[in-house]
Amino acid sequence: MNKLHVITPVKDSIKTTERTVDSVMASVTAIPFAYTVYNDFSNDENTQKLTELSKKHNFQLIHLKDITSHPSPNYLLVLQKAQEKALSDKTHLIIIESDVIIEKNTIQQLYDCADMLENAGLVSAVTTDENGNINFPNLHARKYKKGIVSTRKRISFCCALLTCKLLSTLDFNALNPAKDWYDVIISHKALRTGFKNYMNTLCPVIHLPHSSRPWKLLKYSNPLKYYWLKYTKQLKKQTNKFEQ
- What is the rounded average pLDDT of the residues 135-142? 93
Q: Where are the domains of the chain?
A: 4-209, 213-244
Query: Quick one: pLDDT at residue 163?
Result: 98
CA distance 124 to 140: 13
Query: Quick one: pLDDT at residue 80?
Result: 98
Indicate the pTM of the whole model: 0.88
Q: For residue 196, which of 157, 218, 165 has the smallest C-alpha distance?
A: 165
Res. 213 pLDDT band, cuts 50 70 90: low
Q: What is the DSSP string of 101-163?
A: E--TTHHHHHHHHHHHSTTEEEEEEEEE-TTS-B-TT-GGGGGSPSSEEE--S---TTEEEE-
Cβ-based burial of 175 (10 A; exposed 0-12, middle 13-18, buried ≥19): middle
What is the SS3 assignment for 72?
coil
Between vectors from CA 76 to CA 221 and to CA 114, what angle results, nearest 5°? Answer: 90
Q: For residue 5, which of 59, 66, 41, 64 has the smallest C-alpha distance?
A: 59
Query: Quick one: pLDDT at residue 242?
Result: 46
| Domain 4-209 CATH superfamily | Spore Coat Polysaccharide Biosynthesis Protein SpsA; Chain A (3.90.550.10)
- Contact between 17 and 92 under an 8 Å Cβ cutoff? The reply is no
Query: Percentage of residues in the chain with pLDDT exceeding 90?
Result: 82
- What is the rounded average pLDDT of the residues 59-77? 96
Strand spans (E) along the chain: 4-10, 33-39, 60-63, 93-96, 100-101, 120-128, 148-150, 159-162, 196-207
- What is the rounded average pLDDT of the residues 40-59? 97
Query: Quick one: pLDDT at residue 243?
Result: 44
Q: For residue 164, which of 133, 131, 195, 201 has the smallest C-alpha distance?
A: 195
Average pLDDT, the chain: 90
**219 pLDDT above the threshold of 60:** no
- Contact between 170 and 190 under an 8 Å Cβ cutoff? The reply is yes
Query: Percentage of residues in the chain with pLDDT exceeding 70?
Result: 85
CA distance 57 to 148: 32
- Contact between 189 and 128 under an 8 Å Cβ cutoff? The reply is no
- In this structure, the number of other CB atoms found within 10 A of the CB of residue 19 comes to 18
Res. 60 pLDDT band, cuts 50 70 90: very high
Res. 70 pLDDT band, cuts 50 70 90: very high
Query: Quick one: pLDDT at residue 218?
Result: 57
CA distance 9 to 183: 14
Res. 220 pLDDT band, cuts 50 70 90: low
**241 pLDDT above the threshold of 50:** no
Backbone angles phi, psi at 171, to 5 degrees: -100, 105
CA distance 159 to 23: 12
**236 pLDDT above the threshold of 60:** no
